[in-house]
Amino acid sequence: MINRDDMLELTRRMTPARTCFDRIAGAYIDDMGEVDGSFNTHFGKLSASEKSRNLALAKVIPFSKTNEQLKEYSFSETAKGKDSMWRLLLAVQQCGLKNDALMDILYEQIADGYPADHEFAVFVFHGIYDIPLKAKDKESLWESEEVYDFIICTVSPLQGEYEPSEPVFGFLYPAFSDRSADRDKIDIYHADPEKPEEGLLYKLLN
């Protein structure tokens, strides 16, 4: 089960003044499932309006209804083999989105799992959060307990030219569990949990 307070703790570092993101990358997929363009840049180089717009997009994932829209899943041992999505996600997270070849593979895999008949965007955010220690009274202390290095991915239909709408799917990897990174788990978001994106779910976990 996902702790709602853990997710809210993350979102507090997703504001223009206190952003934990250092990089953003993404691709635009046409209605045939082909990459129509991509980008990869330092988050700090975005304009103020671009930062706000993209932060709002990323925050949808951790700010969603925990254990309803956003659920925690474990990777099985068989799903962690060579050429698996688990290894790809781990590599993307560890390189901080700076390897374009890995990003291209990720976009292709997501497009393969989401055979939509419309254009959509895949955005990936890399963040680093110094998790503060908590005192016995649950108040935060200044010392850092752990550095949480993570990625957030969103999949959104396009509502205009290169303009993503509200995400229909997304994930947070590694899972943020008990205020710590769990590389064997992933938090997956479905905008409508009654109509989950089964293809993307299968693509990630198998």
Show the CA angle centred on residue 103, arms to residues 106 and 180, nearest 5°. Answer: 80
Cα 104 from Cα 91, distance rounded (Å): 13
Cα 124 from Cα 155, distance rounded (Å): 9
Other beta carbons within 10 Å of 3: 15
pLDDT tens per residue across span 99-148? 999 999 999 999 999 989 999 999 999 999 998 876 555 555 555 578 99
Contacts of 6 (CB under 8 A, 6+ apart): 176, 177, 178, 179
Cα 69 from Cα 1, distance rounded (Å): 12
Does the pTM of the predicted model rise above 0.85? Answer: yes
Other beta carbons within 10 Å of 158: 18
| pLDDT the model gives residue 67 | 98
pLDDT grade, residue 202 (50/70/90)? very high
Cα 122 from Cα 192, distance rounded (Å): 18
Cα 108 from Cα 102, distance rounded (Å): 10
pLDDT tens per residue across span 151-201? 999 999 999 889 999 999 999 999 999 899 999 999 999 999 999 999 999
Question: What does DSSP assign to residue 66?
Answer: B
- Burial bucket for residue 55 (CB in 10 Å: 0-12, 13-18, 19+): buried
| pLDDT the model gives residue 115 | 86
For the chain, give the percent of residues with pLDDT over 70. 94
Q: How far apart are the first and last CA of the chain?
A: 21
Question: What does DSSP assign to residue 184?
Answer: T
| pLDDT the model gives residue 139 | 55
